[in-house]
Chains A and B, each alone.
Chain A
Amino acid sequence: MSDPSEVRDVELRMQLLQLWYGKNILSDEQWENVRKGIVEELTEVSELLRTVPLKWEDEPLPMFMPYSSDNNDR
């Protein structure tokens, strides 16, 4: 990974995890594996998702659906 924005993205996510869970929860080697996991699983996914152009009106699937125990037909 050479793109500076991707490198920064990975570092920010690593910092977030270590602040959130505490750095001592894993060994240095395990944190390195977390870093690889982020690179492989998350950062690359983010990049690929951004290659699909989305219009303002494109909604997610599924949408939120109000709930009623009396009538929830779909």
Chain B
Amino acid sequence: MTANEVVFAPVRKLAEMLRTGYVSPVELTELFLNRLESIGPNYNAVVTLTADRALKEARRAQDEITAGRYLGPLHGIPYGIKDLFATDGIPTSWGSAMFKNQVFDFDSTVAANLKRAGAILCAKLAMVELAGGIKYSQANNTFTGPGINPWGGETWAGGSSSGSGSAVAAGLVPFAIGSETWGSIILPSANCGLSGLRPTYGRVSRHGAMALSWTLDKPGPMCQTADDCGLILEAISGPDRTDIAMTNRPYKYEQLDRKTFNIAVLKDATDDIDTEIRDAFIVATEQLGKMATIEEVELPNYPYPAVTSAIFMSESASVLSNLAASQRSDELTAPEMRHGLYARSASLSTDYLRAMRIRKMIAIEMDQLLSKYDALVAPSRPAFAYPLKGDWHSIRSKDVVGAMGNAIGLPAISVPSGFSKDGLPAGILFIGRAYEENRILAVASAYQSMTGWHNQHPNVPGSDINSEVPHD
């Protein structure tokens, strides 16, 4: 097996290689550490390489597997985590020069859960400054440099989980952890041609993650396949008394044995979007029609972006109030963030509560609508990856579907669904009922087994792709 096949292999396949001794955790970790170090800078993907911790964890995993104490599919699997999650003794910058020397003395629950599952932390990955909580309109939005998309060097990886997107897409780690408040998993997953899962709000603990908007923040996995997202979600979910928003509903990933599905397609899903995205989506729904009953539906009539925006602006204004008062706004990377920090302080509490009241109405109506289907589908994004250079203000479009899903904490997975003529990935989004991740994972996996878009990978310069992976 060549290194190229290994670095883009799904976690499930790597797990089998590790379990059977085809490759060892140390060999695999060294392979990915080398790639993170040598190729990571091409994409501004890495903030901190965690080589010492990685090799220590890899040696322990190797000993355990050799001794027959196999922990499961993540045992010995290297990964990277968005630099928004606390990791014991390793700097956690939140994407900001202001916090680049910040060090916590504990692991976030997500990192601790992955460690317990035997996964190996190899890198803290780049992100938009303060998770994009302050409005930005260009790619130079973090102190580690613009997140570069492996599919096109002149385009943005997406954010705020930019390094998580580019690192998995370039085969620098088998999977990564991102987080989404409003679009930060789905956008980089779509831009980078990945399978990215936004779990139900409260499914994954936020403990040790930078707070941005308490009722919107959701950690989640970014992977090569939908199936991998299920494996990772099972490891990182579960009750956690340190996060008051956590559900006590247990989560177990199950590959549902389903041949046919019920799918809803948004009636106006292709209005006002890029023509090539529209074409890819039409082809995707035709393919879905071979395995599903498809009905066209309309979203209940609510001002979704206004609702999510009011919640986001009010909660983040409170989170960022100390920073605003500190008069350090000129230390923010993107100039437009400096005024954005202050503007949101003029949010009205009455608007916040009005949005929270509308939020409940949306949640009830959407639950009724989604109860009839396995998934609601829409294009993941209305446009391909934005250019690295220039101001995006005039090309941004309203994210109605993302606003709806994030406002009421619904799970969603984006998987690749084609490419533009310039070779940039398009994504299709499967949105599910709250706590029904397994159903959307089943639909997305079935779609992937039929299409194979997820098996295409970018040409990564500097990658020694044809060498054999050493094994016994």
A contact residues vs B (CB 8 Å cutoff): 13-14, 16-17, 20-21, 25-26, 30-31, 33-34, 37-38, 41-42, 44-46, 48-52, 54, 58-62, 65, 67, 69, 72-74
Bound CA span A37–B393, Å: 12
Q: Are the CB atoms of A46 and B348 closer together than 8 Å?
A: yes
Q: Are the CB atoms of A17 and B346 closer together than 8 Å?
A: yes
Bound CA span A35–B302, Å: 26
Bound CA span A67–B243, Å: 12
Q: Is the CB of B310 closer than 8 A to any CB of chain A?
A: yes
Question: Which residues of chain B are within 8 angstroms of A65 by Cβ–Cβ distance?
Answer: 244
Question: Which residues of chain A are within 8 angstroms of B343 by Cβ–Cβ distance?
Answer: 17, 34, 37-38, 41-42
28 cross-chain CB contacts under 8 A? A14-B346, A16-B346, A17-B345, A21-B324, A25-B327, A25-B342, A26-B342, A31-B339, A37-B339, A38-B343, A41-B343, A42-B346, A42-B347, A45-B306, A45-B313, A46-B351, A49-B306, A49-B358, A50-B354, A52-B302, A52-B303, A52-B354, A60-B357, A61-B363, A67-B244, A72-B241, A74-B247, A74-B248
Q: Is chain A's binding surface mostly helix, strand, loop or mixed?
A: helix
Q: Are the CB atoms of A58 and B361 closer together than 8 Å?
A: yes
Shortest distance between the CB of B305 and any CB in chain A (Å): 8
Q: Are the CB atoms of A60 and B360 closer together than 8 Å?
A: yes
Bound CA span A49–B362, Å: 13
Question: Which residues of chain A are within 8 angstroms of B244 by Cβ–Cβ distance?
Answer: 65, 67, 72
Q: Are the CB atoms of A41 and B348 closer together than 8 Å?
A: no
Q: Are the CB atoms of B359 and A60 closer together than 8 Å?
A: yes
Q: How many A-B residue pairs have CB under 8 A?
A: 102
11 additional A-B residue pairs with CB within 8 Å, beyond A42-B313, A49-B303, A67-B244: A30-B338, A30-B339, A34-B339, A45-B351, A49-B355, A58-B360, A59-B357, A61-B356, A65-B244, A69-B241, A72-B244
Q: Is the CB of B135 closer than 8 A to any CB of chain A?
A: yes
Shortest distance between the CB of A24 and any CB in chain B (Å): 10
Q: Is the CB of B307 closer than 8 A to any CB of chain A?
A: yes
Q: Is the CB of B458 closer than 8 A to any CB of chain A?
A: no
Q: Residue on A with the closest CB to B338?
A: A30
Question: Which residues of chain B are within 8 angstroms of A44 by Cβ–Cβ distance?
Answer: 306
